[in-house]
Amino acid sequence: MKTIITYLKPYFRRMSWGLAIKIIGTVAELFLPYILSHILKEVIVTQDIRRVLFWGGMMVVCAAAACLFNIIANRMAARVSRNFSEQLRRDLFRKTMHLSAAQTDRFTVPSLESRITSDTYHLHHFVGMMQRMGVRAPILLLGGVAITLIMDHHLALAMLAVLPFIFATVYFLSRKSVPLYRKVQKAVDRMIQVVREDISGIRVIKALSKTAYESDRYDLVNCALAKEEQTAGLTTGAVNPIMTFLMNGGIALVVALAAQRVAGHQSDPETVVAFMQYFTQISMAMMSVSRIFVMYTRSAASAGRIAEVLDTVEEITPMSETDYPSIETDAHILFKEVSFSYTGKHQDLEQIDFSLPKGSSLGIIGATGSGKTTLIKLLIRFYDVSEGAVYLNGRDIRTIPDETLRPQFGVAQQQDFLYAETIEENIRFGRDLTFEQIREAARIAQAEDFITAFPDGYQHKLSAKGTNISGGQKQRILIARAIAAKPDILILDDSSSALDYRTDANLRRALREHAGGTTLVTVAQRVSSIKESDLILILEHGRIIGRGTHEQLMETCPAYKEISDSQMGGAFIDE
């Protein structure tokens, strides 16, 4: 729970005022039974109406003060918990955005989603409850015990005999519940993963008539979550019945003892009436403690999961140029004996060597799983190489800070995303770009025609993930986004797969004419998309099995020739 304390420190002063107000309201509430006992015992017998009205008015004042101060304190508590959770969510989201690709893989996206949403909500609820009940319950409990000891210590001791059993129950069940709720949150992660997958693939699911199959798959994770929640719920749910049993047993014991003492003239009915009211307050306080306990078990598990992310040390950080010195080279991009493994068990890329001058173009082709996208991830430094080095203008990219490295790239991927925003904002992507720059990027990306065909043009609102436009239109918007800021290096990672051959040819022609000086890296499945590249790499099982121009590879690389020949049937469009 160190995470909660760390984020609450800026609010300690405000919380102190809120707690002070809460104490005043609770103490006023605590005096009500005592005043009632005094009225029954000392005032009514005098038959003085003014004294009756005075002490009755005191009860009204105490009740009003308890109500008013509790409302003020609760509003202050709500403000603190709101600001606390807002800052926590903001920092957790920022940390999530700075996790390396490998760290994101280890946490998994569904788990990060549930940590930012449900886990932060649990902490928000807990912090609010602690400020509302965490002060009131102990005061009612300790104050009630203190006053009852003064009023009749024999009856109070009978009541106190029950409390150790209640505390032992709460402590034992709390030890059992925290790990159970961690399991619940992991089950939530699995359910979110299935929901994300099904929502993303809903069209495919319906097209293949697999709605029932996916419903069954969801039922499995939903039942697993329900089972974990049942186990945790049974454990924490045992608190209230056990406490109620113990408190009712204490009440029965006190009533029996009170009857005996009143019959023996060792106590009086007025004291017993007040005592029972205090016992009710103490019972309610104990019930509040049980609710806090239930929330604590949930929030402790959630706080641990959040702390795991916040305390994660960033893996992709700038390295020392002493350890990774620059080299003399004319190449804009240089891969030098690069090998990489995601798991450390086998090489996903092995001995990758190539250089690319500034302003030239690189085409990468190969079968699915050959390592094409992995090579791009190393170039952008989503992952660090296992062996070798990647250089930009002779500088090892491991020494370049993200804020310097990433703006050099413009990237369009096949499975990229679009906001539920206008086309203009999707191309701008939060950057300081003029409308003319956006239009120019759309023209180069061959998107201008279909955008202006919409009645509202660039103000046309896209749905989330661009589901209200075609795949080819989506890819052209993504390409426009990538080239809008005129990057030094433009990466098109299979981002024209949904384009027809003529549009693809027009796109490549426009890039050559308008993107002069930009180094172009194209990953594609079609030879037509890369055949004009200055250098083409053919990857197979993470290794380069061929390199050169299109003409050279047609003569020297059988694998490339086979791919090209299989696509020649009217595939190429003369440019």
pLDDT in tens, 126-135: 888 888 877 7
pLDDT at residue 572, rounded to an integer: 44
Query: Does the pLDDT value for residue 379 go beyond 90?
Result: yes
In whole angstroms, what is the distance from residue 156 CA to residue 169 CA?
A: 21
pLDDT at residue 574, rounded to an integer: 43
pLDDT at residue 568, rounded to an integer: 60
What burial class does residue 434 get, using C-beta atoms within 10 Å of its C-beta: 0-12 exposed, 13-18 middle, 19+ buried? exposed
Pick from 485, 521, 486, 528: nearest CA to 503? 528
Query: Does the pLDDT value for residue 573 go beyond 70?
Result: no
> Do 258 and 272 form a contact (C-beta atoms < 8 A)?
yes
Matching fold, domains 2-310 and 331-566: no
Give the tokens for residue 189.
């992660």
Pick from 302, 178, 292, 299: nearest CA to 239? 292
pLDDT at residue 317, rounded to an integer: 86
Residues 201-218, mean pLDDT to the nearest whole number? 79
pLDDT at residue 409, rounded to an integer: 92
Give the tokens for residue 512.
């050559």
Which residue did the predictor score with more confidence, 269 or 1?
Answer: 269
- For 250, 267, 357, 383, 523, the CA distances from 152, given in Å and listed in that order, are 15, 8, 93, 72, 85
> Do 531 and 550 form a contact (C-beta atoms < 8 A)?
yes
pLDDT at residue 520, rounded to an integer: 92
Look up the pTM and report it: 0.71
| Residues 499-523 pLDDT 10s | 888 888 888 888 888 877 899 999 9
User: Within 10 A of 503 (CB to CB), how many other CB atoms are there?
Assistant: 19
pLDDT at residue 296, rounded to an integer: 79
pLDDT at residue 357, rounded to an integer: 93
Give the tokens for residue 481.
């986004």
Pick from 349, 377, 459: nearest CA to 105? 377
Order across the sheet with 387-392: list the strands: 349-357, 331-340, 387-392, 395-396
Query: Does the pLDDT value for residue 571 go beyond 70?
Result: no
Name, in order, each residue with C-beta under 8 angstroms of 2's C-beta and a sequence gap of 6 or more.
Answer: 307
* CATH code for the domain defined by 2-310: 1.20.1560.10
Pick from 157, 167, 165, 161: nearest CA to 137? 167
Q: Taking the domains of the chain in order of start, what are their residue ranges?
A: 2-310, 331-566
Task: Provide the greatest CA pair distance for the chain.
Answer: 119
**What is the chain's Cα-based Rg?**
35
| Residues 69-109 pLDDT 10s | 989 988 898 899 899 999 999 999 999 988 888 888 888 88
pLDDT category, 44, cuts 50, 70, 90? confident
User: Residue 103: phi, psi to the nearest 5?
Assistant: -65, -40
> Do 542 and 347 form a contact (C-beta atoms < 8 A)?
yes
| Residues 285-322 pLDDT 10s | 777 777 777 777 778 888 888 999 999 888 888 899 89
pLDDT at residue 403, rounded to an integer: 87
> Do 534 and 361 form a contact (C-beta atoms < 8 A)?
yes
Class (C level, CATH) for 331-566: alpha beta
pLDDT, the chain, mean: 84
* Strands (E) located in 367-434: 387-392, 395-396, 409-413
Strands 519-523 and 349-357, sheet pairing: unpaired
User: Residue 336: phi, psi to the nearest 5?
Assistant: -120, 105
pLDDT at residue 1, rounded to an integer: 66
- For 373, 410, 510, the CA distances from 488, given in Å and listed in that order, are 19, 8, 17
Residues 233-241, mean pLDDT to the nearest whole number? 75
